[in-house]
Amino acid sequence: MSIDAPLIRGKYFKEFEVGMNFISPGRTVTESDVVNFAGLSGDYTQIHTDVEFSKSTPVGQRVAHGLLGLSIASGLAVRTGVLEGTVIAFREINEWKFIKPIFIGDTVRVSLSVLETKELRRIGGGAVNIELRLLNQNDDTVMKGIWKVLVASKPE
C-alpha cells in the first residue's frame, strides 16, 4: 500500500500577485466562543462576560474579545485555502486596528488583498504582505491590518 502525498491547496510564493483578492466563508461568533476564549485567555473582563454590566457601557451589550476576533480572522484566512500547505510561517502583524465591536451573533468573514511580495531564496520562498479586513454581516470593517506570511516556493 502506498501513501499519497498530501493535497496542497495553497498558492506557492510565485503564484501570488499584487492586487489579488480572496474572501473567506462566513462564521458566526457565538456565546460559546466568548466563554471559551475567556477561559483559555484568562480574560474575564466584564464587557465580555457580564450582561448586566455591559448594558451600562456605550455599546449596551457584551462584545467579543478583540483578540478572539483576531484569532477568528486567522482561522478564516486559512479557510480561503490560499495558504493551506504552503505557509512556512506567520511572520508579522502590522498596523492592526480594532475598529468596531464584534457582538455575539455577528457573522464575520475576511477579505485578503495581496499588497507586496518579496522573494527570499534563503528560505525557499518569499514574504507576502496581505491586507486583511475582518468584515461583519453588514460589510462593516471591524478589524484590519497587514499580515506578513512566509510562503514556500513550488518544489521543482
Spatial distance between the Cα atoms of 111 and 144, rounded to a whole number of angstroms: 9
Q: Tell me which fold the domain 13-152 belongs to.
A: Thiol Ester Dehydrase; Chain A (3.10.129)
pLDDT digit string, tens, across residues 79-134: 999 999 999 999 999 999 999 999 999 999 999 999 999 999 999 999 999 999 99
Q: pTM for the whole thing?
A: 0.91
pLDDT digit string, tens, across residues 75-85: 999 999 999 99
> What are the structural domain ranges in the chain?
13-152
Spatial distance between the Cα atoms of 19 and 17, rounded to a whole number of angstroms: 6
